[in-house]
């Protein structure tokens, strides 16, 4: 099978060839014809399998087949984080290089005036984070009356991050007649319920089991006391001569602290999280990709949206509170069929988190020990008990204590009101929780 056999134009096939792609991935092979047909699509696939091209290529072709004059945008793509929005826009620009398509990306954390100027010049495709998009709408910088295709990328993450109110407002402003595409690495039951109110008789595409890691990723657990984690990480980086390692922490403060300790230990490191300016985040990521920084320490803001080719190592310095986030974290390695290694430094107090991850994966992760770093308390070899369905999906220790997802079953249906998670900045527990990822938009 080739991209041309899927019905894509010569210009798009040429653009994919320029990127070294000749054979569509499974998600692309199934999603591209469905999008080209004009039907609504609900697609799920493991991270790193080419979801972005799965919707970018066919929507560009649909625009080319029905050229229109106007200010646009004709396609609106919503993404949960700055990094993911920028990555999606990069894909749009790459694949449309032989087409007259105009595109732009807008997100928070940077000055709004340059974005307003871009929008006023007119464009075909707009990639945006929900919060900044609403800011631009309120300043009369963008209108949605010409939108023909709406794409929600990583919709489950947007639900988790409290974007429901913004998305509901945006939906109410869009033309009723449009094509809707819902793409994500995973679909929770809540997202599937929400999709019922948004999609009209959608084509459902799912090329892998939900919440599973790519088989090309070798996973392992290193039991270690909390106080010895930094020293063990330094040893692993040095002894294995790792030159490019993405390390995840649960909190922004933890990311900063670990970065400083690694630097003091002679290992070049940089941190990336929601409190960093967009310029600092962009520089840190660029330095990491170019090999000037050996270790990039990130919070879950980087669990999705970071596409680093042939990234060999991902380390969970701390396990995530939500088991599904483990899958997204380690999905930064082993992308597009490449092999990768994901290891987790796990202390005894994280035993329940590890058990939740192993229940989700339906397998026990192999334990490895390092001489001199044997833990005081060993981790259990088998997860015990059943997952608690009422467990809150809180992140970085903030709020979310009511055990409900941020939203309700009607949120994507366009109905106003409700008590779904919104743009609360309280930082307190309960429904008015503040997500650190929400700051990133």
* Helix spans in 129-246 (H): 130-138, 155-160, 164-173, 189-196, 229-239
Domains in the chain, ordered, with CATH? 4-206 (3.40.50.300), 217-361 (3.40.50.300)
pLDDT of residue 99: 95
Does the predicted TM-score (pTM) go above 0.85? no
Residue 16 to residue 3: CA distance in whole angstroms: 8
pLDDT of residue 441: 41
The sign of the torsion formed by the CA atoms of 405, 407, 413, 418 equals positive
Ramachandran area for residue 337 (φ above 0: left; ψ -120 to 50: alpha; else beta): left
Tokens 């796990």 sit at which residue?
346
pLDDT of residue 241: 93
pLDDT of residue 422: 37
Q: Which residues of the chain have a pLDDT value below 70?
A: 46-48, 185-187, 208-214, 302-307, 309, 334-338, 380-441
pLDDT of residue 191: 73
**Ranges assigned E (strand) in 198-261:** 203-206, 217-223, 245-248
CA distances from 63 to 13, 28, 77, 87, 320 (A): 16, 18, 14, 20, 40
The sign of the torsion formed by the CA atoms of 258, 259, 264, 268 equals positive
pLDDT of residue 428: 36
């Amino acid at each position: 099978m080739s991209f041309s056999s899927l019905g894509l134009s010569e210009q798009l096939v040429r653009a994919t060839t320029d990127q070294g792609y000749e054979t569509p991935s499974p998600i692309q092979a199934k999603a591209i014809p469905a999008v080209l047909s004009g039907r609504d699509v609900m697609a799920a696939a493991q991270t790193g399998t080419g979801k972005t091209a799965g919707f970018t290529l066919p929507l560009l072709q649909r625009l080319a087949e029905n050229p229109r004059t106007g200010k646009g945008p004709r396609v609106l793509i919503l993404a949960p984080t700055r990094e993911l929005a920028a990555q999606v826009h990069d894909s749009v620009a790459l694949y449309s290089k032989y087409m007259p398509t105009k595109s732009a990306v807008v997100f928070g954390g940077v000055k709004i005036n340059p974005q307003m100027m871009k929008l006023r010049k007119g464009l075909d495709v707009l990639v945006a984070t929900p919060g900044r998009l609403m800011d631009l709408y309120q300043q009369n910088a963008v209108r949605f009356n010409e939108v023909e295709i709406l794409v929600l990328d990583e919709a489950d993450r947007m639900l988790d991050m409290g974007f429901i109110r913004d998305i509901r407002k945006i939906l109410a402003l869009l033309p009723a007649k449009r094509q809707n595409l819902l793409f994500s690495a995973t679909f929770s039951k809540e997202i599937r319920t929400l999709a019922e109110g948004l999609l009209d008789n959608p084509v459902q595409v799912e090329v892998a089991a939900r919440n599973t890691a790519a088989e090309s990723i070798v996973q392992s657990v290193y039991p270690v006391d909390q106080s010895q984690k930094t020293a063990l990480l330094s040893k692993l980086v040095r002894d294995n001569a790792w030159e490019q390692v993405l390390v995840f922490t649960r909190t922004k403060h933890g990311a900063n602290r670990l970065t400083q300790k690694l630097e003091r230990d002679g290992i070049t490191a940089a941190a990336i999280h929601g409190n960093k300016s967009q310029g600092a985040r962009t520089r840190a990521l660029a330095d990491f990709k170019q090999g000037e920084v050996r270790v990039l320490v990130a919070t879950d803001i980087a669990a999705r949206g970071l596409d680093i080719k042939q990234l060999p190592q991902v380390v969970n310095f701390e396990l995530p509170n939500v088991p599904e986030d483990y899958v997204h974290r380690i999905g930064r390695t082993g992308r597009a069929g490449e092999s990768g290694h994901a290891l987790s430094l796990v202390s005894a107090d994280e035993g329940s988190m590890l058990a939740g991850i192993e229940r989700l994966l339906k397998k026990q992760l192999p334990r490895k020990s390092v001489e001199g770093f044997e833990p005081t308390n060993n981790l259990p070899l088998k997860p015990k008990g059943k997952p608690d369905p009422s467990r809150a999906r809180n992140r970085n220790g903030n709020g979310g204590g009511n055990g409900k997802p941020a939203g309700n079953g009607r949120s994507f249906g366009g109905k106003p009101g409700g008590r779904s998670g919104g743009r609360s900045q309280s930082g307190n527990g309960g429904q008015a929780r503040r997500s650190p990822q929400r700051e990133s938009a």
